[in-house]
């Protein structure tokens, strides 16, 4: 049995293979890393439009009279501010000041709810589906129920400046009126009940489309056909990573994890410490009041060498002051960039850092993300 036989697949894995995608294991799934090449795919999303299969992500429904109470109890952000049709970025803190996961919260309509009930969809990282489910269930002391729809749900990300031109002709949902981090359900190319969300992980605009797995193939083909005249290209996870890193977006497992605080990670804006309660709220309040000792920063390399996860960061005196969490050769900048945690004294923009690569010491400069600016 080959390694790929032991991995999960999405409903359109065969399409990726037929397109000649380079496949690899990611979060337990056999996923497309690239088709034509990471740099080409990256440029297509920045300049035109590309389509990702990200069906490996996890989706939970929370429904009931106290659904909001459960979401509030596990989320650092304030979901009480959400109106129906609005989404929110947040994180799930653990009890030690770290992060269980980062995730999206969708405030759903209440058509399928009984009187007095509310409904939310939580979208979590593929590698954390079981972990998140168990954590949230352990906090569920409320009058609501959770439903794991991850295995029944497909997810496509249509990203790039031409995304609206591709999608609008095949749906009656008014995309021009859809604000950022809002969503609507509608018919796309004859496929009903597609949730269209003005969200994404690339910084180039676009939509994420949630659909039942048995409709995923038809949706993929319809979008690819509609996008032909606009130069649409299938995009793999390789370009997804370079695109998000150019924007300074955190990747769970690299830039944030069970030991990193959202305050340290620059996610204070999703950490609402004026809420009544959520795990680690007192730790975060103390960090706000007293300050933090380390901070996640972005940096640009002066050398052509790409910084890698785990490389040590030093000051000019050769003292270790931090560690690289993510790094890549940024296609839009044609320069190596990275992120990492450093002691707060070295987090100011313009500070000179040294990235230690074995015996080599490579110069870098702290910059404020996003690295890529439209």
| Count of domains forming the chain | 2
What number is the average pLDDT over the span 294-303?
A: 97
What number is the average pLDDT over the span 94-108?
A: 98
What number is the average pLDDT over the span 21-50?
A: 97
Q: Looking at the structure, do residues 241 and 364 belong to the same domain, yes or no?
A: no
Give pLDDT, residue 3: 52
At 176-227, the pLDDT tens digits run 999 999 999 999 999 999 999 999 999 999 999 999 999 999 999 999 999 9
Indicate which CATH number applies to the domain containing 29: 3.30.1360.120
Q: Hey, CA dihedral for 249, 252, 254, 256, is it positive or negative?
A: positive
Position 37 in a domain: yes
Contact (Cβ atoms closer than 8 angstroms) between residue 301 and residue 352 = no
Neighbour tally for 2: CB within 10 Å: 7
Give pLDDT, residue 5: 63
> What residue numbers bound the domain in which 191 lies?
3-55+152-246
Position 142 in a domain: no
Position 228 in a domain: yes
Instruction: Give phi and psi for 256, each to the nearest 5.
Output: -135, 150
Residue 147 and residue 155: Cα distance in Å, rounded? Answer: 17
Indicate which CATH number applies to the domain containing 368: 2.40.30.110
Q: Hey, CA dihedral for 232, 235, 239, 240, is it positive or negative?
A: positive
| Secondary structure letter of residue 117 according to DSSP | -
What number is the average pLDDT over the span 6-17?
A: 97
User: Is residue 374 over pLDDT 90?
Assistant: no
Residue 175 and residue 165: Cα distance in Å, rounded? Answer: 10
Q: Looking at the structure, do residues 227 and 305 belong to the same domain, yes or no?
A: no
Give pLDDT, residue 4: 53
Of the pLDDT bands very low, low, confident and very high (cuts 50, 70, 90), residue 112 is confident
Position 168 in a domain: yes
Of the pLDDT bands very low, low, confident and very high (cuts 50, 70, 90), residue 1 is very low
Q: State the pTM of this model.
A: 0.96
Of the pLDDT bands very low, low, confident and very high (cuts 50, 70, 90), residue 106 is very high
Element (H, E) at 137: helix 129-139
Q: Looking at the structure, do residues 238 and 318 belong to the same domain, yes or no?
A: no
């Amino acid at each position: 049995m080959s390694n790929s036989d032991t991995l999960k697949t999405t409903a359109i894995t065969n399409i990726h293979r037929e397109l000649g995608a380079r496949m690899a294991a990611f979060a337990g799934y056999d996923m497309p890393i690239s088709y034509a090449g990471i740099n080409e795919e990256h440029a297509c999303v920045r300049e035109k439009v590309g389509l990702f299969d990200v069906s490996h992500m996890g989706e939970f429904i929370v429904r009931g009279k106290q659904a909001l109470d459960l979401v509030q109890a596990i989320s650092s952000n304030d979901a009480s501010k959400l109106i129906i049709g609005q989404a929110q970025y947040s994180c799930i803190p653990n009890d030690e000041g770290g992060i269980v996961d980062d995730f999206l919260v969708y405030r759903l309509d209440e058509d399928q709810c009984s009187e007095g009930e509310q409904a939310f969809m939580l979208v979590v990282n593929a590698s954390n589906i079981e972990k998140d489910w168990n954590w949230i269930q352990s906090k569920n002391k409320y009058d609501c129920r959770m439903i794991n729809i991850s295995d029944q749900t497909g997810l496509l990300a249509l990203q790039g400046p031409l995304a609206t031109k591709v999608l609008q002709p095949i749906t009656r949902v008014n995309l021009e009126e859809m604000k950022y981090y809002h969503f609507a359900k509608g018919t796309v190319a004859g496929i009903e009940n597609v949730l269209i969300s003005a969200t994404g992980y690339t910084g180039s605009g676009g939509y994420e489309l949630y659909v039942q797995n048995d409709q995923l193939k038809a949706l993929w083909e319809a979008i690819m056909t509609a996008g032909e005249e606009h130069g649409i290209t299938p995009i793999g996870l390789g370009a997804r990573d370079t695109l998000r890193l150019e924007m300074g977006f955190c990747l769970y497992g690299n830039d944030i994890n069970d030991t990193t605080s959202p305050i340290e990670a620059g996610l204070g804006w999703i950490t609402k410490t004026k809420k009544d309660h959520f795990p680690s709220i007192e730790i975060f309040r103390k960090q706000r009041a007293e300050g933090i000792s380390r901070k996640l920063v972005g940096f640009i390399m002066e050398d052509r060498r790409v910084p890698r996860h785990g490389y040590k960061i030093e000051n000019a005196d050769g003292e270790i002051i931090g560690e690289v969490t993510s790094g890549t050769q940024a296609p839009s900048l044609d320069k190596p960039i990275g992120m990492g945690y450093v002691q707060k004294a070295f987090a100011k923009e313009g500070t000179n850092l040294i990235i230690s690569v074995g015996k080599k010491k490579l110069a870098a400069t702290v910059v404020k993300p996003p690295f890529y600016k439209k």
